[in-house]
Amino acid sequence: MDVKATVLSLFFLAALLYHVHRGEAACALSDIHVSVQRTGKLVEGQAEYQVTVDNACSCPQSGVTVRCLGLSTVEPVDKSKISVIDGQNCLVAGGAAIARGATVSFTYAWKTPQDFAVVSAKPQC
């Protein structure tokens, strides 16, 4: 192999290793975990639920969006933790990055627990 081909091959290998090392290929939507648990409290006769969102990816992830169907609730929610962005989806933590091991939690009260399926997230590494 000539020197030019060898240098080019090493460049592409280094670029690939750089991206893998940074974790860009490692993050997936499944790394964002959402749990919903009943708190035991009633608000205006409705069960209150605590929702916790965390990130298991080694890279922080921003722009975390979950399906919330408008987030029906009889109690105010902390808009810095979750905000409705359209009739179907909500933005978590105002779009700020959620680091590995960090959590974002909020409560809401409604007739039934909602399923906050993760719609999108952007790895920041």
Domain ranges within the chain, ordered by starting residue: 3-123
Q: What is the block-wise mean pLDDT of the chain (125 residues), using blocks of 10 residues?
A: 49 46 69 97 97 97 96 96 95 97 97 96 94
pTM of the model: 0.78
Task: Output the DSSP codes for 61-100.
Answer: EEEEEEE-TT---SS---TTTEEE-SSSEEEEGGG--B-B
Ordered strands of the 82-84 beta sheet: 82-84, 89-92, 61-67, 118-123
Amino acid at 40: G
pLDDT of residue 15: 45
- d(CA 23, CA 3) in angstroms, rounded, equals 30
- Domain topology for 3-123: Immunoglobulin-like (2.60.40)
pLDDT of residue 125: 86
pLDDT of residue 19: 46
CB 101 within 8 A of CB 31: no
pLDDT of residue 17: 45
